[in-house]
Structure formats: C-alpha cells, structure tokens
Amino acid sequence: MCFIGCKKDEEKPVIVKEELAAVEEPKDVFEFGFKLNDYIVKRDTVKAGESFGGVLERNNVGYPKIFYIAEKAKETYNIARFFQKGKPYTLLCAKDSLETPKCFIYQPSLEEYVVINFNDSIHAYKSRKPIRYIEKTVTGIITSSISETLDEQGVSAVLTNKLADEIYAWTIDFRRLQKGDRFKVIYTDKYIDDTIYTGIHDVKAAYFEHNNEPFYAFRFETDSVKGIVDYFNEEAKNLRRAFLKAPVKFSRISSRYNLKRRIAVYGYKVRPHKGTDFAAPIGTPIMATANGTVTESKRRGGNGNYVKIRHNATYETQYLHMSKRKSKVGQFVKQGDVIGWVGMTGNTGGPHVCYRFWKNGKQVDPFKQKLPEAKPISDSLKIEYLEFIKPIKYKLDNTFFKPEIKENKQPEQTVITQATS
C-alpha cells in the first residue's frame, strides 16, 4: 500500500512597501518686492465711495493708527487723494488669528505701485513693476488690406494704425493699397511682470513696397529734452508733414471753412464760419496737429472749452467745444498729443471739435494751404542718423517676405530686452 500525503505549502507573507509620495515644497512667490508666502494675501479693487481708511478699518486696523499711517504716507504719496474706484490693491497680512495687516499696496496703473509698509515703522514709497520689451519682426503680402494681412498673423490692429496714421500717413494712402504690395516691420511688444501684455510699444523700422516703389521708415529721436521722435527714410528725409490732416481720428467733416455761410436760424444772414468742424462722439480724444506751445486753455462764451497752440512765428491752431481740457498754458505739446476731449460746450448743435487755423495772424482754411514739411534733421544729427540705421536697414533688407499665411502664426521674435524698476 502506498500512502500519499498532501500538504498545502504555507504561503509566505507578502510585505507591501508603501512609497510615500514626495511632498513638494511650495514655490516661493515674489511680487512688489515681498515674498508672498510669508503673508496672507488679500487682493481687491476700490469700490465706489470706498476710502483708504475704510479698507484698513474693515481689516482690523484702529482709526488712530489709520490716521497716523495716512499722515506719514502723505510725505511720499497722498493715498487718500488718489484712491480711485476700480484700482486694484493688495493687503499683506500676518498669519495670525486676526490676520493683522502689515502692508498695503496700491496700483494706480499697471506699471506703477505704491507700498505703504506699517509692519514696524511706517514708510511709503513708489515703484514700478519689471517691464520686458520683446522685439519682433513681421512681414506680409497684401491680398485685400493690411489689417486683414496682419490679423491673419495674430498681430494687433494697433500696428495697422501706427503704420497708417503715424508713419506713412503723408506718403502712402492705405485705402488704395494694391494687391501684391509688401511690407516688413520691426516693432516691440511690451509686457509687465513677464505675463501682462500691454500692447505694441513702438515701431522701430518699416519697409513698404507700394506700386513697386520702396518706402523705408526709421524711428529716430531728434530732441531728447522734449522727447521728439520722428520717422525718416533711408536718406534722412522726414516722412511727416508739420501738421496732421485732422485733430481727431475716425471722424467726418460736418462743416467746412466758409466766409459766406448763411444759416436759417439767423434769418439767412451771412455768418462766416472760420473753422472746420469735425464731428465725433463725446469723449473722443482731440490731438495737437503739430508741435507747439499752449498759449490759451480756458472756457469762454460760444467757444466753450478750448485750447490754442502757437507752433512757430507763422502758424497757430485752436480747438473749440471740448468737454474737458487736458493742456495748460505754457505747456509744450507734440504732434499727436491729446490736449482735450470732444464735447458740446459753447454754441454747438452736436458733438464736434471746431478746428481753427491761423497763418500770420489771420484765420485761413487749412485745406487750401500749402503746409510745410516737418522740420528736417539737422546736419549734425544726419551723420549720426545714417550710422544709426545701418544695422537696422541691413536687418530689414535681409528679412525675406513670407507667402500669404492662412493659419494664425505669431511674428518672429528676435531680441529680448529687460527693463526693471
């Protein structure tokens, strides 16, 4: 007889090793010059009727201390005076049960900020966020319009306006571009804190080929004291005229200069109109049509709010019926600077700006004048300018036109420059 014994093998215990997931340390976050990880951060915007003191009081700061903080900060920045609805602010609070505020940061603009630090002693200061300028190059071939060509490449419409209204306004009619016209542009985009895109900063240079004729444009500062910047071609000739065609953009002429005008409301008597009316919505910016010095800025009778500018010994201009004036007597303004906004003050039947033009002390029709070209570049600067544009022109000339682009494609990024506070 044979006996067979069966015994189940004992199972060996299985040891399960639990791997603990690595806990990542929170990354340090810095803003406004502070390590935010060390605080409870509260962000908000100023509400209608809200005050600086009201914000602090709502966050457990007593009124005597609020008054003391405001008085000490006033030496640097009068926060109570400039506290505006819609502006963002940040409170840095202690990590305690009361979340006691230690620092208040107010942002009057995207770039600027004001720090009022009352952690130990009270001190206030103004600063700016880091700014990065990214230089880009874009090219295109016109098939319908320049705006459509740039839009296909994801480029802001602001670039179209700069090319049409600022750089080539006196040399190329952008409403009559031809299919096959080509362009190259070197421009810079502006970013705050590396993340906030604030638009096109400036156009460094451009090349436009219209009707097979080349048009170069190079940005160059001719007066560092007054901050005057113009665009010149490859031979140092200024591309602009001394005067803009109109003091407002995207407007229409509602009434022309007419010394024999008759108006029904006055019994068809001759009532000369010595200005040119540009109709535009209330609040439309009014621009100085040329460089000059403000000689009058006030409200008077039928003129309403107005600004008058002397440009040189020959020419003066005046801008009537403003809703609000921006310029003061004695102020130097550059061509294109905003000097006020369209309104209906004085004698007016609708929103517009009445643009008046003087030549040798006599009011004339600006559209019948042979207006001078802008001030040419000085002989001393011309040599400097021609040297300055050499590498830029080389880059333009060696940038090849890309064929028509059907898909969104970002412009080529070429140079990055950093500016910090």
| Mean pLDDT along residues 315-324 | 96
Is the model's pLDDT at 343 over the cut of 80?
A: yes
Residue 380: pLDDT band (50, 70, 90) is confident
User: What is the per-residue pLDDT for 405?
Assistant: 43
Q: Which residues contact 373 (CB under 8 A, 6 or more apart)?
A: 238, 240, 241, 242
For 274, the 3-state DSSP assignment is coil
The span from the CA of 191 to the CA of 198, in Å, is 6
The span from the CA of 297 to the CA of 284, in Å, is 18
Can you list the domains of the chain with their CATH numbers? 30-128 (3.10.450.350), 132-240+377-419 (3.10.450.350), 252-368 (2.70.70.10)
Q: Which residues contact 252 (CB under 8 A, 6 or more apart)?
A: 278, 279
The span from the CA of 324 to the CA of 304, in Å, is 10
Amino acid identity for residue 261 in this structure? R
| Mean pLDDT along residues 356-377 | 87
Render pLDDT for 14-30 as a digit per residue (tens, 0 to 9). 555 555 555 667 788 88
Render pLDDT for 18-69 as a digit per residue (tens, 0 to 9). 555 556 677 888 899 899 999 999 999 999 988 998 999 988 888 888 888 8
Render pLDDT for 211-248 as a digit per residue (tens, 0 to 9). 889 999 999 998 888 788 889 999 999 988 888 888 99
User: What is the per-residue pLDDT for 223?
Assistant: 84
The span from the CA of 301 to the CA of 327, in Å, is 19
Number of Cβ atoms within 10 Å of the Cβ of 104: 23
Q: What is the mean pLDDT of the chain?
A: 85
Residue 123: pLDDT band (50, 70, 90) is confident
